[in-house]
Homo-oligomer: A and B are copies of this chain.
């Protein structure tokens, strides 16, 4: 097992490397942190840490840098989450409170996260499946053409065109609208299918086809989790990646363009708290030299979506985790209020 001091050495290496972006040697370590031992001792510790796979040296005559495994140990055991200061928290709140609608909330959150962490920010729109229905609206655009508008408690609006098999009267439309809303308003999306099952039976035979069509469109909309949108920002921060960035940046940019990849990335985080995935822990190959810090957020007690940042494995984990956590908390508040 690793002694207390060796863990301390690892912590020092991570901190120095994150700060300087250069391999750190034994002498520099003893100078910058008062470990109470000589460089030679540190060298022995370093050799042990290297044997265990926590650090590595890029070249024989260079200092050490942490491996993914080293960062993992650092995050799990050696570092806490650095809380935001009071002024920072106030700034976050002020910035988010100016938002006028859901799009704006998400856009502001992305900007904020990118600025706070100086990394690439990813924010998922509140997902439909865990939300509740606020209102369903039906509009007749033409005799046999309806528009279905679904409004969620998070302020999200989805619309779909519905081509009816037969013309649909204004009275029937009002009837359907009223019945639909009385059944599903305020209910969770997952409950909706059961609630509307028998609805067509309440209508005249000639209207049943249309009612069924409307309902199936509604259910489709609910199920379509593909439609989970997200917004990213702060890609300019990718240039902060380091000297080797021209090689690394390409696959990262490509990965960021794939919504599917990003959604999976955020989706994998299962913990209630902040999740950190380091380097090769990320399934996607292009992101093997990045770390992802993510967390769920929600309007109530429950998470309805995720947000996070993508940055180099060499990042300030405590600070980033603190920023991500704080932003998630305040976005949740804002959503609950609106």
Contacts and interface: CB of A to CB of B under 8 A. Distances in A.
Identical chains in the assembly: 2
A135 B146 CA distance: 11
A309 B258 CA distance: 19
Q: Is the interface of A mostly helix, strand, loop or mixed?
A: mixed
A251 B233 CA distance: 14
A285 to B, nearest CB: 14
Nearest to A245: B246
B101 A159 contact: yes
Q: How large is the interface on A (under 10, 10 to 19, 20 to 34, 35 or more residues)?
A: 20 to 34
Contact of A239 (B139, B149, B249): B249
Interface string A220-241: 0000000001000111101100
A250 interface: yes
B157 A157 contact: yes
Nearest to A134: B141
Given A134-B141, A141-B135, A157-B159, A257 B239 contact: no
A254 interface: yes
A164 to B, nearest CB: 16
A270 to B, nearest CB: 28
A245 B159 CA distance: 42
B160 A101 contact: yes
A229 to B, nearest CB: 8
Contacts of A29: none
Interface in A101-146: 101, 103, 134-135, 137, 139, 141
A18 interface: no
Nearest to A243: B246
Interface string A84-111: 0000000000000000110100000000
A38 to B, nearest CB: 41
A257 B233 contact: yes
30 contacts: A100-B160, A101-B159, A101-B160, A101-B161, A134-B141, A135-B139, A135-B147, A137-B139, A139-B151, A147-B151, A149-B157, A151-B159, A157-B157, A157-B159, A233-B257, A234-B257, A235-B235, A235-B253, A235-B256, A235-B257, A236-B250, A236-B254, A236-B257, A238-B253, A239-B249, A239-B250, A239-B253, A245-B246, A246-B246, A249-B249
